Amino acid sequence: MTMNSVIYAGTVGQGVWRSLDEGETFQRSSDGMFMEAEVRALAAHPNDPECLYAGTDAGLYRTTNGGARWERIETPFDPGNGWPAGTLIWSLLIHPRNPDLIFVGTCPSALYRSRNGGATWEKLPAALTPECAPIVYSRVTCLLADPEDSETIWAGVEIDGVWRSRDLGETWVRLASGLSSTDIHGLAIVPGTPRTLFATTNNDLNRSQDDGETWTPQQVKQFFPHAYCRGIVAKSDDPQTLFLGNGNGPPGTTGNLQVSRDGGATWQQAALPQTPNSTIWTFGVTPASPDLVFAASVNGYLYRSRDAAATWQKCAHEFGEVRTLAVVLK
C-alpha cells in the first residue's frame, strides 16, 4: 500500500494549512477553530495519523480526521469562546511512549499536563518566571521527551533557561549554568557516551554532556554566518544527524540551515535553492519517513528534502508567518 505524507503548517493569523502532496500545494485546514488563529504549536499522535493537536491563542484544539475538522478542548488555560486568550499556547508534547500523556507550555510561562488524552488537566509545579525584560512575558518555547529515559521531560523557556523533570513533570529543576543566554529556543539530545544535549539561543548553540548541569557555548559565529539559532531537531533513525535553523535575528531578513552528521561536532551549511527571507525557524519530521525533512523560515518560505538534507527543493506555496510544522504518513 502506498503511504502518503501529509504536512501541516501552523501560521500566525491564518490558522492551520495542510498539504496532501508533500508540499506541492496547500489548502487551509482550520474548520472548527478561529480561522485567523495564531497556531504556534502542532503535535501529531505517534500511533494515529488522523489525530493532531494544535496550540493557539484561542485555546487547545484536536482533530481526529486529519485536519478536516477541529474541536476545542476545555482546559484550565482555556479562554472559552473568547479571543484572544489570557494564556497563549507556545509548545506541545505528546509523549511518544504514552500518547495519553500530553504536556503544554504557555505564555506567560507555565506548564500543564494531561494524563488522559486531554480530558483533564493539571498545572505543574515548575517555578517558571512568567515575566521578563525585554519581551515582558516569558514563554515555554519547546518541550522534549528524553529518548533514553521515558520519565524525563525537558522544557526550554524564553527567557528562563532549560528545565528538567525526571518524574514526568511532578518536579522540575532549572539548568542554566554556563549558558550563553537563558533565551532558549530549541532542545535536542544525541544519545551516546557521553550523551550530548544541545540548546539553541538568541546568540549561540550550547552543549551539555552532564545532563544539563553545565553548558558550553559553541561560539557558532566563528563558523555560521549568524549567531542567532532557532529550531533544532535530531533525525529519528540517526540522532547523530542534526538539523539546525539560524539567521540574523527574529524574524530576521535572511536565514541558513545547518546540518551535522557527527552529533554536533561539526556542521555544514545546506545548499538551499533560494536564500531564506528570514531565520529558519522550525522543522517538520516524522519517524515514519525519517529521510523526509521540511524546514520553514518564520516569514513563510518552506523547503523540502527527501534525502535527509542532502538536497533541497523550495515549495511553491509561501505563507505569511510560520511557527510550527507537523508531518504524518498515512
pLDDT at res. 78: 72
Q: What is the pLDDT of residues 211-265, one digit of tens each?
A: 999 999 999 999 999 999 999 999 999 999 999 999 999 999 999 999 999 999 9
Distance, CA of 308 to CA of 242 (rounded, Å): 10
* pTM of structure: 0.96
Q: What is the pLDDT of residues 144-188, one digit of tens each?
A: 999 999 999 999 999 999 999 999 999 999 999 999 999 999 999
User: Residue 2: pLDDT above 60?
Assistant: no
Domain segments of the chain as ranges: 5-329
CATH 2.130.10.10 fits 5-329, yes or no: yes
Contact 164, 157 (CB under 8 A): no
Which residue's entry shows cell 502506498? Answer: 2
Which residue's entry shows cell 500518547? Answer: 99
Alpha-carbon Rg for the chain in angstroms: 18
DSSP state of 243: E
Centre a 10 Å sphere on the Cβ of residue 222 and count the other Cβ atoms it contains: 7
